[in-house]
Amino acid sequence: MPKIIVTGGAGFIGSRFVALLLENDLPGFEDWDVIVIDALTYAGSYQNIVGFEENKRFKFVHGNILDAPVIDDLIRNSDGIINFAAETHVDRSISSPREFIETNYLGVANILQSIHKYSKRYLQISTDEVYGSVLNGYSVESDSLDPSSPYSASKAAADLLVLSYKKTFNSDVVITRCSNNYGPNQFPEKIIPFFIKLLKEGKQVPVYGNGLNTRDWIHVDDHCKAINLVFHHGKSGEIYNVGDVEHLTNLELVEIILNEFSFGKERIEFVQDRLGHDFRYAINSNKIRSELNWTPVLNIRDEIRRLIKI
């Protein structure tokens, strides 16, 4: 059977991708074995993949993409790799940038060395934050990168390194840049699960600055289906933006959550804005929609209601 390596597969998005793959909800992967490698740091939890090992197509490796020999051995015996492994929280990158540079850049360098050596297909999971704050219009794949935080800078650097392997070695690489994800099993430092947790505990929710920062939200399942299409059908060397049309200010997002609890704005506590806080992210995803026939289907208001009930 062909084998796909999923790095960071015990994290939020990675574990959901593996779950859909094993449930045969991702066309093209029905007969593939999946090997997950994850360091099981704070954001990656074995609880996210409990039960997967009952499926004979699944294997787990406790390891780190910074361990070049381990990564090399896995890629040598695989048919492709999708890299979800990353440090992702902006606030943590401000207080501790080194680990972001190590995982998000040096870890990717290890992967690229091996996919070049063994001629494997590689999908790099990136972020819309590499474009920086977009005051007007929408970011397209050819736009210049303008990262604002150590996190987004480390991801931008990795993207450039990936593209350099296409230009220098003609490596089979593709990149997705996605907007903010939400969904089940998301680590509670992220805004939606964090606010749901605080409100269930009877606490107030902290909102940075004036709450007018704008983000584009997409459900993790819609994102995973886009990743599947890009891995199987994306053109080598190309970048694909993955975004929905759910552009919300942080205040609008909080109000959706508060309404589900029947709470008012008195539950909001405005706090000092964070350093390097981008005002607006907005990406144009026409490329993946037109070339790969991808369309998001899940509505954030309905899905937040489901998350609160979990």
The pLDDT value recorded for residue 43 is 75
Q: For 27-61, how does the pLDDT look when each residue is reduced to its tens digit (9 = 90+)?
A: 999 999 999 999 998 778 899 999 999 999 999 99
pLDDT in tens, 172-223: 999 999 999 999 999 888 899 999 999 999 999 999 999 998 999 999 999 9
DSSP notation for the chain: --EEEEETTTSHHHHHHHHHHHTT-STT-TT-EEEEEE---SS--GGGGTTGGGSTTEEEEE--TT-HHHHHHHHHTSSEEEE------HHHHHH-HHHHHIIIIIHHHHHHHHHHHHT-EEEEEEEGGGG---SSS-B-TTSPP---SHHHHHHHHHHHHHHHHHHHH---EEEEEE-EEE-TT--TTSHHHHHHHHHHTT--EEEETTS--EEEEEEHHHHHHHHHHHHHHPPTT-EEEE--SEEEEHHHHHHHHHHHTT--GGGEEEEPPPTT--SB--B--HHHHHHH-------HHHHHHHHHH-
Domains of the chain as residue ranges with CATH:
3-182+218-244 (3.40.50.720)
CB 206 within 8 A of CB 5: no
Percent with pLDDT over 90 in the chain: 85
Q: What average pLDDT does the structure give for the chain? A: 94
Active site residue 129: yes
Please give the C-alpha separations between residue 118 and each of 38, 77, 122, 126, 129, in angstroms, as whole numbers.
22, 9, 11, 23, 31
- Chain CA centroid to CA 39, Å: 16
pLDDT number for residue 44:
83
Q: What is the pLDDT of residues 203-217, one digit of tens each?
A: 999 999 999 989 999
**How deeply is 113 buried, as exposed, middle or buried, from its count of CB atoms within 10 A (0-12, 13-18, 19+)?**
middle
The one catalytic residue in 128, 159, 216, 246 is: 128
Contact 182, 246 (CB under 8 A): no
pLDDT band at 87 (very low <50, low <70, confident <90, very high): confident
Q: Provide the pLDDT for residue 276.
A: 72
Catalytic residue (one of 122, 151, 182, 240): 151
Looking at residue 226, what is its pLDDT? 98
Catalytic residue among 129, 244, 246, 278: 129
Angle at which helices 250-260 and 191-200 cross, to 10°: 40
pTM of the predicted protein model: 0.94
Instruction: Please write the tens of the pLDDT for every residue from 229-277.
Output: 999 999 999 999 999 878 899 999 999 999 999 999 999 999 998 777 7
Q: What is the mean pLDDT of residues 134-147?
A: 94
Q: Are the C-beta atoms of 149 and 93 separated by less than 8 Å?
A: yes
